[in-house]
Chain A
Amino acid sequence: MDRKEIIDRLKPIIKTYAPAQVKEKLEELTEDADFIQDLYINSANLVDIILDVEEEFNITIDNESMEKMLTVKASIDIIITKLSEK
């Protein structure tokens, strides 16, 4: 799975938890986006995103990885790592 495919599968998950003004801009979502700073997702909703990511990609995210998943880029890196460990 390449990075583009991963980001396309992340968009609908993020859309569920992002506020309205961010939802409109999600088509232009880049890897640099920071969940809290740029997408206005609070740290508790970030947990919901990560649980949805686990389901979408059929992977398990550990605490240490979870703490790193603050940007789209870091999340893609961790998803790729977890997929390769399967």
Chain B
Amino acid sequence: MKTVFTTGEVAEICKVSQQTVIRCFDSGKLKGFRVPGSKFRRIPRDSLLAFMRENSIPLENLESGKKRILVVDDDEAILDMLLELLERDGRFEVRVARGGYEAGMMTQEFQPDCLVLDYKLPDIDGNRVCRTLRANPNFANIRIIIISGVADPDEIAELRKAGADDFMRKPFQIDDLIARILQLVQPT
């Protein structure tokens, strides 16, 4: 995925002239940097996103149109299966992470719409992941579905308090999972 844009690319995505983009960059409305040793301007993806949101510019030209899903689980077989079934569906762009730390990195980079998160991770537990995401305004819009083999009602309540949007028990019905993801990422 493209993470840094030129002023020309930004003009095309935002459907404005390059001059407008340069003016916005120079006035500080669009955050970015100059390439060291030259005067070329560069805009990082999240600055662009923030700029587009602030100015109510539709995001569809920036995004692929598919919902970005980050699947976090320590079980390779689960990851493979979820990756396959979500990609086969065609409506999702899917990335995977094998632990809490990797999930954090990927969230930053991938900017997912939804996390499918195994509650019991080897390094960080689900509660911590939820709280960390919710503490960062940049991730406020990310939806979280917890999936777990153990379903203690008290623990589920705790997860919801920490910021989880939904919970699903393993094993699950594929259709059910997809339905719930779509329900979360496409608010009607």
Task: Tell me, yes or no, whether A binds B.
Answer: no
